[in-house]
């Protein structure tokens, strides 16, 4: 029988380093671009964990700031919230919005682990599989309508599968997402070209260089709903460094493709996450 100290470790911690993942730009546990099947926070199925994050992404013409928090309940359920601010900088003037015009969005998420364990089922091929939902509310309804967006609110549904291969020091994730979001939802949902949900893919692969350093790459496909500007898929190359048991710093090179007629939006991603 576990003593009081062991029980406390299980309640407030217990996961291996980096196996609770970082935080995606939408607030869920995952990579920078992708939502993974893992549940945020350090707690195992004996307790409650969670954390908070702040992220900054800067490309040639735009920048994105996001912050938020999540809670993991008994390594089974994750609840999350993220607030996004998308700064058009000088591009805002060229688009007729005014220099520094900012789009904002709130993302409310929930995730349920339905089967498997990404880490501890090493003797099984089955990955950890989770179902997720993200409800998004964008601020600028009038501008969204002007560029062809159908709605300023929308809901994404996804299924994610994650496997940590300890023997190979490898992390692999695949996510299928049903979404109507334009530029992750910042430009609304649905458009003049397509109005319904479409199936998109998010993939991540990383290798544990050390117990505290994970490097890898991600890809995320996106709908192309708006006639005024082609939307392209996104990629990143990342490094996540566990500075402390409770602090993770993630840096990445990111390529977001074309945004609102501005092509080649490449730049840097930096995110700080605290977790317990």
pLDDT tens-digit map of 19-30 = 778 899 999 999
What lies within 8 Å, CB to CB, of 5 at 6+ separation is: none
Predicted confidence at residue 64, as pLDDT, reads 97
Is residue 252 over pLDDT 70? yes
Asked if residues 112 and 40 have their Cβ atoms less than 8 Å apart, the reply is no
Q: What is the pLDDT of residues 196-216, one digit of tens each?
A: 999 999 999 999 999 899 999
Predicted confidence at residue 45, as pLDDT, reads 83
Predicted confidence at residue 245, as pLDDT, reads 86
Q: Within 13 Å of residue 117, how many CA atoms lie on the same side as its CB?
A: 13
CATH code linked to domain 4-275: 2.40.160.40
Stated pTM of the model: 0.91
Which DSSP category does 256 fall into?
-
Q: Tell me the percentage of the chain whose pLDDT exceeds 70.
A: 95
The 10 Å Cβ neighbour count of residue 90 is 11
């Amino acid at each position: 029988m576990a003593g009081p100290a062991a029980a406390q470790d299980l309640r407030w911690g217990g996961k291996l380093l980096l196996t609770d993942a970082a935080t995606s730009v939408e607030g869920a546990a995952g990579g920078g671009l992708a939502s993974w099947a893992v549940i945020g926070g350090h707690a195992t199925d004996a307790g409650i964990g969670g954390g908070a994050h702040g992220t900054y992404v800067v490309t040639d013409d735009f920048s994105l700031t996001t912050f938020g928090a999540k809670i993991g309940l008994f390594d089974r359920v994750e609840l999350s919230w993220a607030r996004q601010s998308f700064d058009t900088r000088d591009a805002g003037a060229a688009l007729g919005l005014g220099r520094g015009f900012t789009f904002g969005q709130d993302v409310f998420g929930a995730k349920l682990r339905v089967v498997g364990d990404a880490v501890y089922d090493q003797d099984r091929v089955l990955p950890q599989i989770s179902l997720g939902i993200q409800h998004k509310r964008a601020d600028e309804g009038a501008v969204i309508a002007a560029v062809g967006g159908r709605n300023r609110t929308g809901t994404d549904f996804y299924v994610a599968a994650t496997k940590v291969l300890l023997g190979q020091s490898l992390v692999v994730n695949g996510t299928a997402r049903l979404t109507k979001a334009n530029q992750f939802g910042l430009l609304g949902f649905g458009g003049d070209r397509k109005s319904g949900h479409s199936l998109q893919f998010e993939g991540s692969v990383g290798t544990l260089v050390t117990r505290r350093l994970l490097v890898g790459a991600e890809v995320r496909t996106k709908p192309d709903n708006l006639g005024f500007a082609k939307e392209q898929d996104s990629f990143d190359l990342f490094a996540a460094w566990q500075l402390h048991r409770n602090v993770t710093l993630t840096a990445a090179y990111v390529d977001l493709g074309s945004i609102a007629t501005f092509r080649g939006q490449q730049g840097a991603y930096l995110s700080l996450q605290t977790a317990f």
